[in-house]
Amino acid sequence: MAPWTAALERLRETVSTGRAVPAEFRRTQLQGLERFLNENRQLLQEALAEDLHKSDFESDISELLLCRNEVAFALRNLNTWIKDEPVAKNLLLQLSSTFIRKEPYGLVLIMGPWNYPINLTLVPLVGALAAGNCVVLKPSEISRSVERVLAQLLPRYLDPSCFTVVLGGPQETGRLLEEKFDYIFFTGSPRVGRMVMSAAAKHLTPVTLELGGKNPCYVHDDCDPQTTANRVALFRFFNAGQTCVAPDYVLCSREMRERLLPALQRAITRFFGADPQVSPDLGRIVSDRHFQRLQGLLRCGQVAIGGQSDPRDRYIAPTVLVDVQETEPVMQEEIFGPILPIVTVGGMGEAVEFIRRREKPLALYAFSRDSQVIHKVLDRTSSGSFTSNDGFVFLSQMTLPFGGIGNSGMGRYHGKFSFDTFSHFRSCVLSSHHLEQLNQVRYPPVGPWSRKLITWAVEFPNCTIQ
């Protein structure tokens, strides 16, 4: 028997009785989650520091605050979100009541990665609980300290009949995925995303896949180099570059590259001092295996800034590479570390071509003073999100959906989008048993007059009441 069998049975029982569906039950769970975040703030910060050397500020702004916001937003809007949503009717259904009911899927599996191990497990959890689901949470085994806190403490704040944490690495998770879930929400790599989707296909379970990839950052010639360098460096080196939406590489002209390099050096020194290894604000690589991979990437192209590393504390200096080839690993795989290659292109047209030749990214950045340039890049490309002259600030805005496209994922969440993701939109038509006289017109044999009337009653747009 698998270690999760009893817990899953308990959760399935709750799903079948509908115990997690009433608004009050959902509200209690969300309040429990809120208390967990408030009462364990320091413990969570310490766990993040142990796993990733995150500073308190980074932990707060990119993990805890975002979770607290999501809970508060869900609590404030829950009553509105869960209401049946009336829809416009055609003439055929004028005497019926037509609406969308937001039903919980039932048993939901949430699988998280290690890079923002609180944010990327608890933000989806808010949506799943708000929508009235029962949840199996599978945090990453790589961010061990956070995994421990989530496994030991979070269940104390939530009802055990609707929530459980399952632990394990690839092998255990592979077995867990053989179970039948009603929805799977996965955040991680495209490689594992494919495995999750094929496991889900066996049960026809719907999925959201929040994946990664390489996020381009185009810098136009008209930019102020220092302003651009400050912003690119901030978001590239945040969490030691281990961010799915970080700018992965810069595309710019050779002239702009020459102006950006000293500006990037100034930004790095300003943020992390002359020796970034002693800076409290620079994270560390999560594991030896990830460190080894990144060390390999440092051998691509030429090191223009940084390049130092120290395996003892898995430190990699904020690094800028130049003269990299498109065929080198640093331009083939998602970097996911504090390394920024600069690839030179002839101009905006060539940059757009470069981006379009590759998989659709999770995030795309463009820097220019000229709004026409920004709009051209926006119009001619596709990505999960698009930001001009800044980094991943869109994550702070719960009214914007977060999600990828193509190789960077499918589905979206945050704020109301999370609630919708974890809800089945059930089409409801409540008609009366009476009025049989009116219905006679629909029954065969349908004569020419009836046919005309019925067609007219359902044809758009003349008979749709808005």
Residue 190 buriedness (CB in 10 A; 0-12 / 13-18 / 19+): middle
Site for ligand NAD in 3-42 (CB under 6 A): none
Catalytic residue check, 428 = no
Cα separation, 184 vs 422, in Å, equals 9
CB atoms within 10 A of CB 1: 5
- 114 touches ligand NAD (CB under 6 A): yes
Nearer to ligand NAD, 34 or 147 (CB): 147
Which residue has its beta carbon closest to ligand NAD? Answer: 212
Site for ligand NAD in 333-372 (CB under 6 A): 334, 336, 362
* The binder of ligand NAD chosen from 28, 90, 96, 189 (CB under 6 A): 189
Closest CA to 291 of 314, 312, 313: 314
- 391 touches ligand NAD (CB under 6 A): no
Candidate segments 207-215, 314-322, 414-422, 451-459, binder of ligand NAD by CB under 6 A: 207-215
Nearest distance, CB of residue 168 and ligand NAD, angstroms? 7
Strands 423-430 and 97-104: antiparallel
Nearer to ligand NAD, 120 or 136 (CB): 120
Cα separation, 455 vs 462, in Å, equals 11
- 147 touches ligand NAD (CB under 6 A): no
Candidate segments 22-30, 184-192, 348-356, 456-464, binder of ligand NAD by CB under 6 A: 184-192
Kindly state the DSSP code that residue 337 receives in the 8-state scheme. S
DSSP secondary structure string, 214-280? --EEEE-TTS-HHHHHHHHHHHHHGGGG--TTS--EEEE-HHHHHHHHHHHHHHHHHHH-S-GGG-T
Site for ligand NAD in 399-418 (CB under 6 A): 404, 409
The answer to whether 218 and 374 have CB atoms below 8 angstroms apart is no
* The binder of ligand NAD chosen from 49, 78, 165, 192 (CB under 6 A): 192
3-state secondary structure of 447: coil
Beta bridge partners of 385: 363
Closest CA to 315 of 353, 278, 363: 278
Nearer to ligand NAD, 53 or 290 (CB): 290
DSSP secondary structure string, 382-432? --SEEEESSSSGGGG-TTS-B---GGGEE--BSTHHHHHHTEEEEEEEE--
User: In this structure, what token pair is assigned to residue 162?
Assistant: 């609707």
Nearest distance, CB of residue 107 and ligand NAD, angstroms? 18
Catalytically annotated residue among 244, 252, 300, 334 = 244
Candidate segments 8-16, 61-69, 82-90, 204-212, binder of ligand NAD by CB under 6 A: 204-212
* The binder of ligand NAD chosen from 140, 239, 309, 387 (CB under 6 A): 140
- 247 touches ligand NAD (CB under 6 A): no
Nearer to ligand NAD, 115 or 421 (CB): 115
Site for ligand NAD in 422-441 (CB under 6 A): none
Residues 6+ away with beta carbon under 8 Å from 134: 11, 12, 14, 15, 20, 106, 107, 108, 161, 162, 163
The answer to whether 207 and 185 have CB atoms below 8 angstroms apart is yes
Catalytically annotated residue among 58, 179, 210, 334 = 210
Catalytic residue check, 141 = no
Residues shown for the chain? 466
Closest CA to 92 of 446, 428, 431: 431
Candidate segments 208-216, 341-349, 366-374, 432-440, binder of ligand NAD by CB under 6 A: 208-216
Nearest distance, CB of residue 212 and ligand NAD, angstroms? 2
Nearer to ligand NAD, 18 or 170 (CB): 170
* The binder of ligand NAD chosen from 11, 109, 126, 244 (CB under 6 A): 244
- 120 touches ligand NAD (CB under 6 A): yes
The answer to whether 313 and 333 have CB atoms below 8 angstroms apart is no
Cα separation, 174 vs 196, in Å, equals 8
CB atoms within 10 A of CB 332: 13
Nearer to ligand NAD, 122 or 223 (CB): 122
* The binder of ligand NAD chosen from 32, 112, 283, 338 (CB under 6 A): 112
- 195 touches ligand NAD (CB under 6 A): yes
List active site positions. 210, 244
The site for ligand NAD (CB under 6 A) is made up of 111-115, 120, 138, 140-142, 169-170, 173-174, 187-189, 192, 195, 210-212, 244, 334, 336, 362, 404, 409
